[in-house]
Each structure stands twice: as structure tokens, then as C-alpha cells.
Amino acid sequence: MNKLYFGDNLEILREMEDTRVHLICTDPPFNSGRDYNAIIGDSLAQKKTFTDTWTWDTAAQDARADIEHRAYTSDTYKALDNCLKGYDFVLQNAVSGSRSGMRAYLAFMGPRLAEMHRVLTKNGSIYLHCDPTASHYLRGVMDAIFGADNFRREIIWNLKTASDYKRQVNGFIRGHDVILYYTKSTGAFVFNKIFQPHKPEYIRRFRKVDPHGRHYRDDRPNSARQYLDKTRGVALTDVWSDIMSFQQNATSTERLGYPTQKPRFLYERMIKTSSNKGDIVLDPFCGSGTTIDAAHTLKRQWIGIDITILALDPMRQRLKDRHKLEPSIDYQIDGYPTNMQEVRKLLKEGDKRKYHDFSNWAVTRFGLKPTKDVGDGGHDGVWRMTLWSPQVMKETNARILAEVKTSKPTLPQVRAFCQVMNENNAAIGIFITLEPISAGMRQQAENMGSFTHNGRNYPRLQFWQIDDTYFENPDSINTHVRLPVEWRIRPTRKSKRHFDAQQTGFLRG
Ligand SMILES: C[S@@+](CC[C@H](N)C(=O)[O-])C[C@H]1O[C@@H](n2cnc3c(N)ncnc32)[C@H](O)[C@@H]1O
């Protein structure tokens, strides 16, 4: 059952059967008005991991029209449609500005929440992580879809934002996220009560000891002797202040460099409370896989969905490092190429985003950073190698570029890439193709000469034709492309490094 899907969760949720999932814990975009980058620090090459800015564009209008259409045949969509119509009044039917952004955001979230409701079992629960930007609107949407009676709690996660973190903010510093907790029904739902240890000053009250060595207190009038070993601890409230955010704990080894990653312990708490061993936990906005990691730790089955292929590497790495799980053996990956047939299928669908996903995947095999979607200046990946020359005890930098072609490559394209290499002073360029390269292209590589480092020559222009050997043995990439030893390609480690880049503005704040 354990499965990762790459793609739009609305499409994937719609393919899922009714009442299959016991628990949903999810952390969607919050309408924060920001774009999240997996790579920060080099203005040359930042790649959007996901965008959290919303406009009342045709996609949003189509989403609204679709909700209206479904409202004819589905009570859930009818309730959603009515709710959004009410919000249209509140938001004055705005078609520009932040109010229209909220309308677009709700048109995005509404149908996804409706499908989440459908796939939940009767005794299932959902935790929707959001923040005060949209939590009040989302609560109305959730009331419409799940029923106001099924609202259980609004959990406040105290982020403990450092007070000097935003000294310049004119107002109170935002210090919490909101987690909306609903169940599918009012009756039987799983709730495993969590107790926390008593404070030491409370425990000290049990100072008397009986002949069996048990601590007790009997200092309260009209009440019986109370034994310490019979007290269960303090029942958890809906204000959670004991789980550090990465804002507070910036050096945590748990951080993978994925923007908006949440602490695993936070998600473990929701899973422990609202599911049992063996239950199915779903996160349709799973990002770096915090929910699935937590679910696996607690012996639940899991399903993760994310639209960004860039989320796969940190997710796969964390499943391997923490649980020794291997894709295709211990869990399935859908929508991500694991052989050439799937690569071709991915590209045949002709979707521009999938092309970008593929190109991102290809350049990160070399540890390069994907370049921006727009105006990329003729290359799809870039990185700066730091090279060490022991003879002269000197460190130097050299730029490496990559270009991905999924259609049959042509000589003019290779020449254009060489020009981009020269303009960018690139030491080495990698031209990545799915089709064989021609003799003319090899000649062009000869003409580009070589890059010398520590007495060794490396062709400046190199080619990598992706084929099945790569999927069988990722290390085979080193036999096609020769790079200085400092840059020897170890596929997983390199792609991990891609996400290890320092993040600034890591959490919303
Ligand atoms: C706030 S992040 C989740 C972070 C996650 N909780 C973690 O700890 O890493 C939201 C995620 O939703 C994903 N996303 C946005 N729109 C999506 C869609 N339509 N379908 C699936 N995933 C989507 C983004 O790519 C992003 O990874």
C-alpha cells in the first residue's frame, strides 16, 4: 500500500476509491503570497519548488465553474459551492488584489478538501495545517464539507518565534500556526488520548511513601489517598507549545532544506492520536515527506502526493536513511520515471510542467541546480565547483552547466549551448539527450577543447544520453561524463546536496 504519487493531488484523489483512508494530515500552501525555493543563495539559479501566490486567473475561474457544475450532483460540492458564494460576498467578488487571491486560493483548496472528505473512512479524521492568513476561511469551507458538528478542535501550534526575529515588524509578531482538526462523523472516531508528564513541582506533592514503596499524597480535604503511579499525566490541550519549529531550532539535523518542512514530532502526535497501527495515513501535499516518515515510524501504512518532482529526492533519502526503505521494493512511486519507458510516457503527455520536472530531474542527477523556468539563458542546470590544487595549495572555482533536450538533438542546438558556455565562462557543459548524438556533435565537442585540472584534461563539452543502463545502475553516469574527482557523481548524495542548500525565510513568518 505504501505509495508516493507525483502529480496534481486533485487528479490523483479523484482516482482514489471512497472511504479508503483512516487519517489525513496535510500541510498545503497557506496563501502566504510567497514562492518557495529549494535553492537559495545563488541568484543565478533559483528554482521554484512551489508557488504560493494566487490570482483570479482562468484556472481559478475554471475551478469555480467546475465546483458549480459538480454541485448539481454532489451534496458535498453543493455545500462547498454555497460556502464559496457566501465568501464571494465577503470578498466583494474581487477580480484583482489580495481579496481575489483569496477567492482563487479557496477555489483551489475547496475541491481538494471535498475529495479528501470522500476518501476518508467513516471513523476517519483530518488535520489541516494552515495559518491565520486563511484559517478563518478554511474553517468555513471545512464546516461546509465535513459538517460543523464534526469540527473537533482548532489546534494552535506555538512556533515560539524568536522575539527579535522580526524586530522591524510594526505589530505583534506572528507566533503560531493553526491546525484544523475534524472528523468525518460525530460518533465513532479514533482518539487515543495523549498525556504529558506532570511538572516536577506537582510530582513533589506525592512525598509520602507507603510500605510497598509507592508515592502518594493525602493532603486534599475530603479526597482519598492519591497514588503517583495511578496518575496518567496531564491531558494535552489544543495549544501545543512543546514542539520546536525549525525557526526556533534552525540547526536541527532533521532539516532537509525543503522549504516549509515541518517537524516530524508534530505529525507523529496527530497520527498517534487519530489512528491505530496498520491504518492508512494520507498526505496529499506531502512535500519532503514529514507525514509519511512519521506514519512509517508509527507502523501505519501511508500514501503521499506532491506535485513537485523536486520533493522526491529528499523524501526518498529520508525513507532510506531513517527506515532503510527502497523504492519499488518497499514502496511504489507513481508518476516519477524509474525506467526509460516511464520517461517516454512522462514526456509524451506533452505537459509543459512535466517537461520541467523531467529536466529538473535530469540536471539534479549531476548535483546541478535547475535554472529558472523563464529566461533561463539557454541552460537548464548550473553549479559552481570548488576545485583544490594541492601543488599550488590553491582553491579555484569553475562553473558547470547542463542543457536537456528531450526531442532529437540538432547540431545548431549543440552549437548554441557551446555559445552559452562561453558567455558564462563555463569550464564544462553537459548536453543531456534521450537520443544518440551525431558525429558532427562529437566534432563540436572536439572543437571546444578541454578543461585542465591537477594535470588532467576533461572535455569541455560532454554528452549524456539517458538510457536504461542509468536506471539499472545510477553510478554508470560516471562512465559517460568525466568530471574532476571533487565532483565525482554519486547520484543520491549529490541530489541530497541539492536540497541541503541553506534556506532563508524557511518557515512562513
Ligand atoms: C507546505 S508544503 C508541505 C511541506 C511538508 N509538510 C513537509 O514537511 O515537507 C506544501 C506542498 O504542497 C505541494 N503542492 C502544491 N500544490 C499541489 C498540488 N496541486 N498537488 C500536490 N501537491 C501540491 C507543494 O509542492 C509543496 O511541497
pLDDT in tens, 80-95: 999 999 999 999 999 9
Residues 299 and 409 in one domain: no
Q: Find the CATH number of the domain harbouring 183.
A: 3.40.50.150
pLDDT level of residue 166 (50, 70, 90 thresholds): low
* Whether the CB of 285 sits within 6 Å of ligand 1: yes
In the structure grid, which three cell numbers stand for residue 23, read together?
487519517
Predicted confidence at residue 41, as pLDDT, reads 31
Q: Examine residue 224 and state whether it is found in any structural domain, yes or no.
A: yes
Is the per-residue pLDDT at 430 higher than 90? yes
Predicted confidence at residue 255, as pLDDT, reads 86
What is the best residue among 286, 310, 312, 317 to mutate for testing ligand 1's pocket, by most ligand atoms within 8 Å of CB?
A: 286
Contact call for residues 269 and 179 (beta carbons, < 8 A) = no
Q: What percent of the chain clears pLDDT 70, i.e. is strictly above it? A: 88
Predicted confidence at residue 71, as pLDDT, reads 96
pLDDT level of residue 240 (50, 70, 90 thresholds): very high
Q: Which of 343, 346, 318, 376 is nearest to 470 (CA)?
A: 343
* Whether the CB of 245 sits within 6 Å of ligand 1: no
* Whether the CB of 305 sits within 6 Å of ligand 1: yes
Instruction: Tell which atom from ligand 1 comes closest to the C-alpha of 28.
Output: 10
* Whether the CB of 76 sits within 6 Å of ligand 1: no
Higher pLDDT, 309 or 325: 325
Show the 3-state SS of 95-159: CCHHHHHHHHHHHHHHHHHHHHHHHEEEEEEEEEEECCCCHHHHHHHHHHHHCHHHEEEEEEEEC
d(C-alpha 213, C-alpha 225), whole Å:
14
Q: Examine residue 482 and state whether it is found in any structural domain, yes or no.
A: yes
Residues 373 and 472 in one domain: yes
Is the per-residue pLDDT at 38 higher than 70? no
Q: How many CB atoms are closer than 10 A to CB 306? A: 25
Please tell me what DSSP assigns to residue 225: -
pLDDT level of residue 506 (50, 70, 90 thresholds): very low
Instruction: Render 170-209 in DSSP notation, one character per residue.
Output: SSPPP-EEEEEEEES-SS-------EEPPPHHHHTT--EE
Please tell me what DSSP assigns to residue 438: P
pLDDT in tens, 140-149: 999 999 999 9
* Whether the CB of 499 sits within 6 Å of ligand 1: no
Predicted confidence at residue 162, as pLDDT, reads 65
Is the per-residue pLDDT at 367 higher than 80? no
Question: Is residue 490 exposed (0-12), middle (13-18) or buried (19+ Cβ within 10 Å)?
Answer: middle
CA 490 to mean position of chain CA atoms: 23
Q: Which residues pair with 222 in a beta bridge?
A: none
In the structure grid, which three cell numbers stand for residue 7, read together?
502529480
Which structural domain range is residue 207 located in? 200-230
Predicted confidence at residue 488, as pLDDT, reads 54
Q: Examine residue 105 and state whether it is found in any structural domain, yes or no.
A: no
* Whether the CB of 262 sits within 6 Å of ligand 1: yes
What's the gap in Å between 265 CA and the centre of ligand 1? 18
Helix-helix angle 290-297:264-274, to 10 degrees? 50
Section 190-202 average pLDDT: 91
What's the gap in Å between 292 CA and the centre of ligand 1? 13
Helix-helix angle 75-90:97-119, to 10 degrees? 160
* Whether the CB of 318 sits within 6 Å of ligand 1: no
Is the per-residue pLDDT at 489 higher than 70? no
Predicted confidence at residue 123, as pLDDT, reads 96
What's the gap in Å between 138 CA and the centre of ligand 1? 17
What's the gap in Å between 258 CA and the centre of ligand 1? 10
* Whether the CB of 8 sits within 6 Å of ligand 1: yes
In the structure grid, which three cell numbers stand for residue 109, read together?
483548496
Residues 451 and 394 in one domain: yes
pLDDT in tens, 174-194: 889 999 999 999 988 999 999
Predicted confidence at residue 472, as pLDDT, reads 82
- Range of lowest pLDDT (9-13, 135-139, 181-185, 308-312): 308-312
Which range of 3-7, 115-119, 481-485 scores highest in mean pLDDT? It is 115-119
Q: Examine residue 251 and state whether it is found in any structural domain, yes or no.
A: yes
473 to 237, 399, 466, 467, 476: CA distances (angstroms): 51, 27, 12, 11, 6
Give the strand pairing for 120-130 and 21-26. parallel
* Whether the CB of 307 sits within 6 Å of ligand 1: yes
Residues 180 and 224 in one domain: no
Residues 290 and 356 in one domain: no
What is the best residue among 115, 306, 503 to mutate for testing ligand 1's pocket, by most ligand atoms within 8 Å of CB?
A: 306
Residues 325 and 389 in one domain: no
Is the per-residue pLDDT at 163 higher than 80? no
- Taking CA atoms only, the protein residue closest to ligand 1 atom 7 is 261
Q: Examine residue 104 and state whether it is found in any structural domain, yes or no.
A: no
- Range of lowest pLDDT (44-53, 90-99, 384-393, 426-435): 44-53
* Whether the CB of 306 sits within 6 Å of ligand 1: yes
What's the gap in Å between 147 CA and the centre of ligand 1? 25
Is the per-residue pLDDT at 452 higher than 70? yes
Predicted confidence at residue 222, as pLDDT, reads 82
Residues 362 and 462 in one domain: yes
As for how many domains the chain has, the answer is 3
Residues 431 and 366 in one domain: yes
Residues 162 and 272 in one domain: yes
Predicted confidence at residue 372, as pLDDT, reads 66
Higher pLDDT, 313 or 494: 313
Tell me how far apart the terminal alpha carbons of the chain are, to the nearest angstrom.
Answer: 36
pLDDT level of residue 216 (50, 70, 90 thresholds): very high
Residues 185 and 211 in one domain: no
Predicted confidence at residue 374, as pLDDT, reads 46
Show the 3-state SS of 36-102: EECCCCCCCCCCEEEEECCCCCHHHHHHHHHHHHHCCCCHHHHHHHHHHHHHHHHCCCCCCHHHHHH
Residues 404 and 493 in one domain: yes
d(C-alpha 130, C-alpha 35), whole Å:
16
pLDDT in tens, 400-420: 999 999 889 999 999 999 999
Q: How many CB atoms are closer than 10 A to CB 348? A: 9
Contacts of 426 (CB under 8 A, 6+ apart): 399, 400, 401, 420, 460
d(C-alpha 66, C-alpha 70), whole Å:
6
- Taking CA atoms only, the protein residue closest to ligand 1 atom 5 is 287
* Whether the CB of 80 sits within 6 Å of ligand 1: no
What's the gap in Å between 261 CA and the centre of ligand 1? 10
Instruction: Tell which atom from ligand 1 comes closest to the C-alpha of 262.
Output: 8
**Residue 472: in which H helix or E strand, if any?**
helix 468-472
* Whether the CB of 30 sits within 6 Å of ligand 1: no
Q: How many CB atoms are closer than 10 A to CB 126? A: 26
Contact call for residues 3 and 331 (beta carbons, < 8 A) = yes
Question: Is residue 88 exposed (0-12), middle (13-18) or buried (19+ Cβ within 10 Å)?
Answer: middle
Contact call for residues 182 and 125 (beta carbons, < 8 A) = yes
319, 336, 353: which is the final residue of a domain? 336
Q: Examine residue 108 and state whether it is found in any structural domain, yes or no.
A: no
Instruction: Tell which atom from ligand 1 comes closest to the C-alpha of 30.
Output: 1
Which range of 90-99, 244-253, 270-279 scores highest in mean pLDDT? It is 270-279
What is the best residue among 47, 307, 351 to mutate for testing ligand 1's pocket, by most ligand atoms within 8 Å of CB?
A: 307
d(C-alpha 233, C-alpha 254), whole Å:
28
Question: With a threshold of 0.95, does the pTM exceed it?
Answer: no
* Whether the CB of 288 sits within 6 Å of ligand 1: yes
Q: Which of 418, 410, 482 is nearest to 447 (CA)?
A: 418
d(C-alpha 468, C-alpha 23), whole Å:
38
Predicted confidence at residue 425, as pLDDT, reads 93
Section 111-139 average pLDDT: 97
* Whether the CB of 29 sits within 6 Å of ligand 1: yes
Contact call for residues 326 and 320 (beta carbons, < 8 A) = yes
* Whether the CB of 7 sits within 6 Å of ligand 1: no
Higher pLDDT, 200 or 152: 152
Residues 348 and 327 in one domain: no
Is the per-residue pLDDT at 115 higher than 90? yes
Predicted confidence at residue 45, as pLDDT, reads 36
Is the per-residue pLDDT at 501 higher than 90? no
Which range of 296-305, 346-355, 356-365, 393-402 scores highest in mean pLDDT? It is 296-305
Predicted confidence at residue 125, as pLDDT, reads 98
Alpha-carbon Rg of the chain, whole angstroms? 27
Q: What are phi and psi of 257, to 5 degrees?
A: 90, 5
Instruction: Render 253-291 in DSSP notation, one character per residue.
Output: TT--S-TT---HHHHHHHHHHH--TT-EEEETT-TTTHH
Predicted confidence at residue 352, as pLDDT, reads 63
Q: What percent of the chain clears pLDDT 90, i.e. is strictly above it? A: 54
Average pLDDT, the chain: 85
Q: Examine residue 217 and state whether it is found in any structural domain, yes or no.
A: yes
Higher pLDDT, 408 or 296: 296
